[in-house]
Amino acid sequence: MLRFVFSPSAVSRETGGELGGAVVGEPSNGVLPAWPVQRVFAPLLGATSAAIHETWLSDHPVRAGRSEGIGWHRADGVLYGTIELNEVDFPDTPGCSSLQAASAEAYRRIFRLLDEQGMPHLWRVWNYLGNINLETGGLERYRQFNIGRQDAFLECHRGATGNVPAACAIGLIGGSLNIAFMAGATPAVPVENPRQVSAYNYPADYGPRSPTFSRAVLVHPEGQEILFVSGTASIVGHQTVHPGDVVGQTRESMANIGAVVGEAARLCRSPAFVLAELSYRVYIRHARDFQKVRDTLKPLIGEAEIVYLQADICRHDLLLEIEAFASHALEN
């Protein structure tokens, strides 16, 4: 069984069974856990501490390893890993930017590891990159990342449509290409949103390659069912709606999450998930919008666990993005 633990001010006090996790914000002493941890060094909004530690724990024995710069832990059919690559190590070449090359290489290494470990199914990916909306060489950096990511999916014989992982891609100020991922021995069940065009079917208006992710997935570690909702924004069909209106975008984002949760209800093996039980991470482009976003979300999700941070979103006209997950036990 997997468990998820928040520790608002320090590393989780749990001992043993740590698969991996993230530190969101920045720890005052700079100390990070010994297990694989993704560093999301972005300003927390409305928090009482400088950093929040998030840890996935397993009830089963954990084995640790390192492969091609990936730190990983695995336990009973689940693997969690992290990798950071510096773009300067991947010089631009004609037709391929340093970010595109780094993205492709990161995913190639991930897929090689998963094949070696017998964990071929990528469930959830968290992607962070610097200056996501900056245009270089005539192409926005997010679009460069999408080319590299899809190149690796195809090269490593993974499909780029249909059964692809849940994911987010978020912009931070500077820093390396920073990826965390969870994978398993069993396939994920992809969940799409009837209000939206699937991201992997976006038209060419959004770049030479479509984003390679599902709107959500259901995954099944032993004895449980986890719903991972990808980064979700104010998009209907494939177009941004409510430009310049952060309240409108917040409501539309939650309408999309509600639609995904409703679709998951058709596919899940456990009782249907509901919005109030999900744990949320909310990325807000402008810190000044925090209070409006929080006030808008409160009546929609009640006392749900939620972390707010300031970060850039994959489209320049999107003001926020929301991701979420929840877990249910499965009866024998």
Residues carrying an active site annotation = 321
**Tokens in use for 127?**
């992607």
Strands (E), the chain: 2-7, 18-25, 37-40, 51-58, 63-67, 70-75, 78-85, 121-130, 135-136, 139-140, 166-172, 177-184, 189-191, 216-219, 224-232, 235-236, 239-240, 279-284, 306-310, 320-329
Q: How many CB atoms lie within 10 A of CB 260?
A: 26
Residue 4: CB atoms within 10 Å = 16
Residue 279 near residue 308 (C-beta atoms within 8 A)? no
Q: What is the number of other CB atoms lying within 10 angstroms of the CB of residue 157?
A: 9
The C-alpha atoms of residue 242 and residue 191 are separated, in whole angstroms, by 25
What is the spatial distance between Cα 21 and Cα 138, in angstroms, rounded to a whole number?
A: 35
Among residues 93, 209, 86, the alpha carbon closest in space to that of 151 is found at 209
